[in-house]
Amino acid sequence: MEDHQKRKAEMEKQMKMLEHNMTLIKYKIAVMSGKGGVGKTTTAVNLAMGFKMMGYSTGILDADVTGPDVALMLGMEGRRIEQTGPFGMMPVMHHSGIRVMSLAFLLQTPDTPVIWRGPLKTTVIRQFLAEVYWDQLDFLIIDLPPGTADEPMSVGQLIPDLDGVVIVTTPQDVALLDVRKSIGMAGKMNVPVLGILENMSGLIFTCPDCGKVTEIDLFGKGGGEKVAGELGLPFLGRIPLDVKIPEDSDKGNPFVAEHPDSPAAKAFKEAVKMIVAKLEEEK
Ligand SMILES: Nc1ncnc2c1ncn2[C@@H]1O[C@H](COP(=O)(O)OP(=O)(O)O)[C@@H](O)[C@H]1O
Ligand SMILES: [Mg+2]
């Protein structure tokens, strides 16, 4: 067979596996934002943990190929693919039972820089969807890189029945401009916006001397809710800044599980409930 014919046949086989894999997953949700550092990966792991805590079987796909942080935030850096599955790889299991796949599990060292062009990124994401044995899942959360680059487009094309995107923003006005771009992207991908989550919204500060808890308005508040209102999109809530969030991810247990009664964890759990309600009402 000619080389390109062989490649075409392989690609068709892979797309069949991908389609089959996706039929086993009930809800597929991507987390996106206009820019980096707003808390997408934090949101992806805490939403996933929130679904898990409600008893749903859950997986996370790290589609941020050039900055694969999911493993780090789940305390799984240094882990490697351990088993092969029927189509290629088995996801790596977090101690909570969340199934995780990230390029980090395939890299030699965690700080290996990943400098790839678009087509290669698409190849990796396609492989992670087709050749990883996700098995039956209630939720697959896909952590996207910032912006409107190749990855969101690839995810949109490879998963035509993507159930929706969650858009993460910080409260400032500049961030809100990016929200509009993300919404435009979701539109191009033909995917519904499940809602907007405002992260780093106010600072919860516990006084080390007297233990008094104060909320400080650090970067402003309410911008995400305002833009959601203007655009007629659901507002999924405000997640305050909490120093325990980065601490917990260093320890490998997402904040919602480690500090379930804190205001930020309660806000994440509320967002999880709203997403479940919205999806269940539509199916
Ligand atoms: N609500 C929050 N409170 C405190 N730190 C946060 C909060 N949200 C995110 N962070 C921290 O901010 C940094 C960037 O978050 P991350 O989730 O990696 O953003 P992104 O994936 O959008 O680049 C991380 O160190 C994370 O622990
Ligand atoms: Mg990230």
Cβ within 8 Å of residue 125, ≥6 positions away: 61, 63, 65, 151, 154, 155, 158
What is the pLDDT at residue 83?
Answer: 80
Structure tokens at 63: 């589609």
Mean pLDDT over the full length of the chain: 90
Residue 75 identity? G
Task: Give the pairing of strands 92-93 and 213-216.
Answer: unpaired
Q: What is the largest CA-CA distance in the chain?
A: 76
Please tell me the distance from the alpha carbon of residue 51 to that of residue 142, in angstroms, as a whole number. Answer: 14
The pLDDT of residue 174 is 66
Burial of 267 (0-12, 13-18, 19+ CB in 10 A): buried
- Residue whose CA is closest, atom 17 of ligand 1? 39
CA of 246 to the centre of ligand 1 (A): 7
Ligand 1 pocket mutation, candidates 205, 245, 255, criterion most atoms within 8 A of CB: 245
Residue 161's domain comprises: 3-282
Does 200 sit in the ligand 1 pocket, CB within 6 Å?
A: yes
Whether residue 38 contacts residue 196, with contact meaning beta carbons closer than 8 Å, is answered with no
CA of 273 to the centre of ligand 2 (A): 23
User: 164-169 and 193-206 as β-strands: parallel, antiparallel, unpaired?
Assistant: parallel
Number of structural domains, the chain?
1
State which ligand 1 atom lies nearest to the alpha carbon of 200: 1
What is the pLDDT at residue 224?
A: 85
The per-residue pLDDT for 191 is 93
Which contacts qualify for 225-233: CB closer than 8 Å, 24 or more apart? 225/196, 225/198, 226/176, 227/169, 227/176, 227/179, 227/180, 227/196, 228/195, 228/196, 231/180, 231/183, 233/183, 233/193, 233/195, 233/196
Written as six digits, the tokens of 27 are 């809800």
Tokens 């980065």 belong to: 246
**Closest listed residue to residue 60, CA positions, set 192, 254, 278, 195:** 254
CA of 38 to the centre of ligand 1 (A): 6
Contact 32, 197 (CB under 8 A): no
Q: Can you give the pTM of this predicted structure?
A: 0.93
Mean pLDDT, 10 residues at a time, over the chain (283 residues)? 86 93 97 92 98 98 92 92 84 97 84 70 92 96 86 90 95 79 89 95 84 78 84 94 88 92 96 97 81
Q: What is the pLDDT of residues 197-215, one digit of tens each?
A: 999 998 877 788 998 888 8
CA–centroid distance, 48 to ligand 1, in Å, is 15
Q: What CATH number does the domain containing 33 carry?
A: 3.40.50.300
